[in-house]
Chain A
Amino acid sequence: MKVGVVTFPGSLDDVDARRAVAIGGNEAVALWHGDEDLRGVDAVVLPGGFSYGDYLRCGAISRFAPVMTSVIEAAGKGMPVLGICNGFQILCESHLLPGALIRNDHRKFVCRDQRLRMERVDTPWTSAYTAGDEVTIVLKNGEGGFVADEATLDLLEGEGRVVARYLDDNPNGSLRDIAGISNERGNVVGLMPHPEHAVEELTGPGTDGLGFFTSLAAAAFA
């Protein structure tokens, strides 16, 4: 499968994401924020970082980048899209996912190996996991507090759209310990932790993040 990874001005983890895509058994394709052409990819990753310097609000300006016009259209037709950290913020600003991400409640940047429980595993990004799996994935964010109104939170839980939840200490004040969510269809997933930093034993806390990148290959041959 060809997986595009978008580079915005200020993206940090685009190279790691491309590497993780390749380790996961897919072909990584570099996409550029200023280019509407998705170069024939089958899926898109919006990587972490500080696109446009986080000016205005995290993801607020990236949401209007030319590439996002194509990503939003493709996502509407069912293309798998994964937003990691800043990518999650962009997906919320794009209204592809509900809610928003605000500054951590404790006001400090957090960087740690975070335990998560996987919940929704019928998406193209999470099918390699089993519901209830407890995994450890790197988390690093300053504005990772997931918020939405009560009705939206109830809807997300009622429809089983919580993809992953924080275990142990809630690292950023996210409501109901939500670390990641999906759209109704499941093709669009936003996640605050960084699975692309947990794909090799040499670096990071292990390889628990690899499933996000191997799921796609499994989906392609299913």
Chain B
Amino acid sequence: MARYVVDVMPKPEILDPQGKAVLGALPRLGFAGVSDVRQGKRFEIELEGEPSDALLEEVRAMAGTLLSNPVIEDFEVHLQGESEGAWA
């Protein structure tokens, strides 16, 4: 079993009203010094078989086709357990 993680984030230049709402709520709860919050989505995708470059590409295709909208979002894919990955 291979488990991949897809992180989807609004592009930096795109307004993120949800992140702004969280940013507004944190100081009210006593969390000081927060200068920005961006809210995205995380997908955990399980595939049959062992992790491989081919599976990684498959997940990247899913991310580009359905999980993210390239007009407003960037995504990053990695095998669960790995922290690094290239932003698409």
Contacts and interface: CB of A to CB of B under 8 A. Distances in A.
A80 B17 CA distance: 34
Interface in A138-176: 145, 147-149, 173
B66 interface: yes
Nearest to A61: B66
Interface stretch (A98-106, A182-190, A198-206): A98-106
A173 B69 CA distance: 19
B19 to A, nearest CB: 10
Interface residues of B, number: 13
A102 B14 contact: yes
Contacts of A60: 66, 69
Contacts, number: 37
B15 A147 contact: yes
B17 A102 contact: yes
A109 interface: no
A67 to B, nearest CB: 17
B20 interface: yes
A8 B72 CA distance: 24
A33 interface: no
Nearest to B14: A147
B61 interface: no
Nearest to A58: B69
Main secondary structure of the interface of A (DSSP, over half): loop
A107 B71 contact: no
A209 to B, nearest CB: 28
A173 B20 CA distance: 14
Contact of B20 (A61, A107, A145, A149): A107
Contacts of B20: 107
Interface string B64-75: 001101011000
B67 A173 contact: no
A222 interface: no
Nearest to A173: B15
B22 to A, nearest CB: 11
Given A102-B14, A102-B17, A173-B15, A64 B72 contact: no
A100 B15 contact: no
Interface of B: 10, 13-15, 17-18, 20-21, 66-67, 69, 71-72
